[in-house]
Amino acid sequence: MLSSPRLLRHHLPPLQCCFTTAPTQPPSSQILTIKKALLSGETTSVDLTSAFLRRLRRTEPHLKSFLYTPSDQTILQQAQELDNRIQNNEPLGPLAGVVVAVKDNICTCDMPSTAGSRLLENYRPPFDATAVRKLKEKGAIIVGKTNMDEFGMGSTTEGSAFQVTANPWDLSRVPGGSSGGSAAAVSARQCVVSLGSDTGGSVRQPASFCGVVGLKPTYGRVSRYGLVAYASSLDVIGCFGSSVADTGILFHAISGHDKFDATSSKRDVPDPTSQFIANDYLVSKPLKGLRVGVIRETLQDGVDPAVVSSVNSATSHLEDLGCVISEVSLPSFALGLPAYYILASSESSSNLSRYDGVRYGKQLFADELNSLYRNFRANGFGSEVKRRILMGTYALSAGYYDAYYKRAQQVRTIVQKSFRDALDRNDILISPAAPSVAYEIGEKKDDPLAMYAGDIMTVNVNLAGLPALVLPCGFANGGSSGLPVGCQMIGGAFDEEKLLKIGHIFEQTLEGYNFVPPLVADEVGC
């Protein structure tokens, strides 16, 4: 493997694409540009999909973003069917011709769904997750299943049972986790957008590490039907894109009530793109009067100074856009991390009890049932999954339930109230998405407590069930061209439309940054 993206890019000949932008221009919507190009006859879905496949095949040996991709012929057949529809003047869905990657814990009936675990190595679900079904109905082309930490338990994607994914900005660093494969695939332009899942930050932290946009919706906004369960009261399917517009379009496509998920909300889902205003039409203070609270506890000791500097610059930019900035203190913020790990581990110990060697995975033979369970789980689960199952089982045991699980639920209530009070006084809250930039591969693998501490910026949002948007806001030293830093914007329940509108304006007016990694910068004309 080559040691740096600066070296790797010389092995990638230029690839002509119709939706590229110059370095200092705001990112445009690839989805809208693709649809316009298809309808005008400027290009075909087969040609566009072929371009993405060529880039994917060239970069994948170095990045390892995907655990499974169908044959090129299978993927191009989907594109040809779309071209036939266009020729017949049939209506197109909002995601027509859009190449989408799906995290491997989201079920797909025609592809494996392993959740990054040897236990499910050969598992092919007999159904699509609701989010995947909606993608297909709206014309998306599913290009493959992305790598992840086993069952979503990890923050680096090193916990995958199959391979380690590299960060497109620096191949010696992790892409984050557990949705690292999905974030890396979008960052490297192996696909247009992708689906991930977020239990304690698994969309937002990789988005920050890989310099892409990540959205964690409100709990219940997107159906969890077909999502392999980790912690059911925290799990959410989220979205990645290279722009806020693309992320918002993907979010709208998969949202809404689902009869197969009792926790999905029946609220209407407004189209966020109706709130997007082109840069040329923005007034001088487009966010005038918007109240923004900066969470004090997220910019104190333990946070990389370069991260603090980038978030402070983002805050200044929001102020220039007309926002009213104030500092907000959430005294319960530090309590969220231990409470999260108790609750998530407890729920995982229950959810993963279904993997018993009888109904799922490769079957073993044993003289009695306990031996079957013991051998199957000992050989199938990775070390991090075993650790969390043991922690959860301990917290739920009769002698410790009140001391740990019950108290963690009480902390969860306190966290929810503190966010509610802060959002009563502010329209959004902001913080870093992670306390540092991407780690070196192997740096945190043998220190689980240090890895858990990296989730401190994100877990409280899951405990409160709120939406949060992460978008790149600057760089810190590292790699051959710097490493991206993400700013997290937190909104009230079901306020995704507001978050996306603010993020879209922020993104369009942020000058001087190019968030295309060197790995693909030459290819896309930046």
Mean pLDDT value of segment 513-526? 73
202-241 pLDDT per residue, tens: 999 999 999 999 999 999 999 999 999 999 999 999 999 9
pLDDT of 523 higher than 80:
no
pLDDT of 470 higher than 90:
yes
Q: How many other C-beta atoms lie within 10 A of the C-beta of residue 73?
A: 8
Pick from 330-334, 337-341, 350-354, 370-374: least confident? 370-374
Note whether residue 389 is domain-resident. no
Note whether residue 404 is domain-resident. no
| pLDDT at position 91 | 92
Residue of 64, 103, 136, 216 with catalytic role: 103
Note whether residue 474 is domain-resident. yes
Confidence category of residue 3, pLDDT binned at 50, 70, 90: very low
| pLDDT at position 472 | 97
Note whether residue 386 is domain-resident. no
120-177 pLDDT per residue, tens: 998 999 999 999 999 999 999 999 999 999 999 999 999 999 999 999 999 999 999 9
Task: Give the pair of three-digit tokens for residue 23.
Answer: 């370095």
Residue of 28, 178, 223, 346 with catalytic role: 178
- The residue assigned the tokens 């909606």 is 134
Collapsing DSSP to helix, strand or coil, 277 comes out as coil
103 annotated active-site: yes
| pLDDT at position 21 | 34
Q: Alpha carbon of 442 to those of 159, 166, 275, 447, 502: distances in Å? A: 11, 11, 43, 10, 36
Note whether residue 227 is domain-resident. yes
Q: Residues of 460-482 as b/e, b for ≥16 C-beta within 10 angstroms?
A: bbbbbbbbbbbbbbbbbebbbbb
Percent of the chain whose predicted confidence (pLDDT) is above 90 = 81
Higher pLDDT, 40 or 369: 40
CATH of the domain at 118: 3.90.1300.10
134 annotated active-site: no
| pLDDT at position 522 | 59
Higher pLDDT, 360 or 251: 251
216, 101, 250: which is closest to 465 by C-alpha? Answer: 216
Note whether residue 290 is domain-resident. yes
Confidence category of residue 289, pLDDT binned at 50, 70, 90: very high
What average pLDDT does the structure give for the chain? 91
349 annotated active-site: no
Residue 158: what residue type? E
Higher pLDDT, 522 or 313: 313
| pLDDT at position 28 | 84
Range of the domain at 304: 16-277+285-335+409-520
112-124 pLDDT per residue, tens: 999 999 999 989 9
| pLDDT at position 479 | 63
Number of structural domains (the chain) is 1
Note whether residue 394 is domain-resident. no
| pLDDT at position 25 | 63
pLDDT of 263 higher than 80:
yes
Please tell me the distance from the alpha carbon of residue 160 to that of residue 67, in angstroms, as a whole number.
Answer: 10
pLDDT of 512 higher than 90:
no
Residue of 117, 155, 202, 332 with catalytic role: 202
Mean pLDDT value of segment 377-399? 94
- How does strand 66-68 pair with strand 141-146? antiparallel
What is the distance of C-alpha 450 from the center of its chain? 21
Note whether residue 8 is domain-resident. no
